[in-house]
Amino acid sequence: MQPCLKPKIKPVAAVILAAGKGTRMRSHLPKVLHKVCGRPLLTYVLEAVKKAGVERIVVVVGFGAEQVVPVAKVYGEIVYQEQQLGTAHALLQAEKVLAGFAGDILVLGGDTPLITSTTLARLIETHQSQQPASGNQKSACFLPTSHLSPPTPKTMATVLTAKLVEPAGYGRVIRNSAQQVVKIVEQKDASLAELAVQEINSGIYCFAVEGLFKTLARLKAENAAQEYYLPDVIETYVRQGLPVAACLAEKEEEIQGINDRCQLAAAEDVVRQQVRNEIMLSGVTILDPLSTFIDSEVKIEPDTVIYPFTIIEGACRIGANCIIGPGTRLKSVQVGDNVVISNSVVIESTIGDSCTIGPFAYLRPGTHLARKVKVGDFVEIKQSVIEEGSKIPHLSYVGDAHIGKEVNVGAGTITCNYDGQKKWLTVIEDKVFIGSNTNLVAPVKIGAGAFIGAGSTITKNVPAAALGVARGGQRNIPNWTKKKKQTKEENIS
């Protein structure tokens, strides 16, 4: 069902609660910065809020603020919660920055990466305009009356709820006989009848700004943790006879907060499947989706085939008609069209059209391959440019080098780029042939069309079209093995 998003009656500001440590994560990293498919949890929330059409975004930071702020400030304003005293106390910190704001306030945690902009827009619309759709047509913007408290233009708060088969651990949404929300009760405080309720509080709210901050300031920390919680605002409104509504989420997974590594892994599964489906629907073949891991920022062109046990991370861009894998890891790589990469690791590199990589190659950051380059088995390259048509087929190390066009690098060739203090450049010009088991001691330059004899250690520049040989002359000793055998027998006797 497609959402029917109407123009907002009032402007909306969002307050994202991102101050908590996340003790159950057992980590020094703030909880909202743990990643799902390569992106922080907080980024998913901020993107969803932005796409929902919210005019202002305020992020409340606390634990690890110096790490959270660089992510959050791209989207909106920052306020600090010096002491983490609960969700209501966190929202109260936004009072000054929202002074004079005349609208509604969307509040949600920064640890709900599966929430969608569609659901947030429905929550806002439900809060702002709770009139049924005209005629017999049902609108996705409104809930059936069994899920929504009676229409009223003066609703002070609307809670996003969900119905769970197993609601253990969540606060229950309690309604009266008229289906009005009367309270949200935490599991530890619920009666047996209340524990049987399947409708739960998602922790996502839309509040009218009128009187909200005064209500927050009057709350009491009457709980074991001595903290101030947003469900207490709902209870206060109900006690004062002020209307509270509820909006039921269509998918229960959307409201899942991340509190531990198990929940993080579960969210990762959901997002990864969404990413894989989107990529496959765009024309890419993934032979075994369950063994393929692709980050959310990856872009792949049609008719590329991804083999099993492949990991594609970061802002990778992969062209059309490529074959990637099996057993391959790519991170922040730009790959052209018609490229084959098998059983290899490529990190922060650029691969031109029609290149062949692997098996078992390792391309480190700063590697740039032009068109039709071949990098074979057990080759490592870093911080180097390899120009069109060149080949490094086997067992070589190329570091800090510029290799020209149509160069052949023989097996076992090493660029000796480090002298113990500094990295030096090796330059190999076009159409050079490097014999097997060659050491190129940088800084050194091999001129165009030169030929390097196998087994050489090259320490000086080789002119264009010259033969470079640097090895001891061969010496054959006649009957040496016979003499050695005879000496050995005499020693034994």
Nearest-Å Rg of the Cα atoms of the chain is 32
Q: How many other β-carbons are positioned within 10 Å of the β-carbon of residue 132?
A: 13
d(CA 101, CA 58): 12
Which tokens is 480 given? 């040496």
Bridge-partner residues for 61, per DSSP?
18, 80
Q: Name the DSSP class of 306.
A: E
Q: What are phi and psi of 124, to 5 degrees?
A: -60, -45
Distance of CA 138 to the CA centre of its chain: 37
Q: Which alpha helices (DSSP H) does 192-339 contain, by range?
A: 192-195, 212-218, 231-239, 261-281
Compute the 3-state secondary structure of the chain and give helix, strand, coil in percent, each to the nearest 5: 20, 30, 50
Q: Is 394 a catalytic residue?
A: yes
Helical (H) or strand (E) element with 480: helix 480-492
Q: Name the DSSP class of 456.
A: -
368-369 sheet: strands from edge to edge: 299-300, 317-318, 334-335, 350-351, 368-369, 385-386, 401-403, 426-428, 444-446
d(CA 283, CA 491): 76
489 half-sphere exposure, CB direction, 13 A CA radius = 6
Q: DSSP readout, 245-275? A: EEEE-S-GGGG----SHHHHHHHHHHHHHHH
d(CA 156, CA 234): 9
Which tokens is 440 given? 């190129």
Q: Name the DSSP class of 8.
A: P
Q: DSSP readout, 53-75? A: T-SEEEEEEBTBHHHHHHHHTTT
d(CA 324, CA 328): 7
Which tokens is 273 given? 């499947």
Choice among 127, 147, 394, 402 that is catalytic: 394
d(CA 127, CA 152): 9
CB 313 within 8 A of CB 295: yes
Positions marked active-site: 394
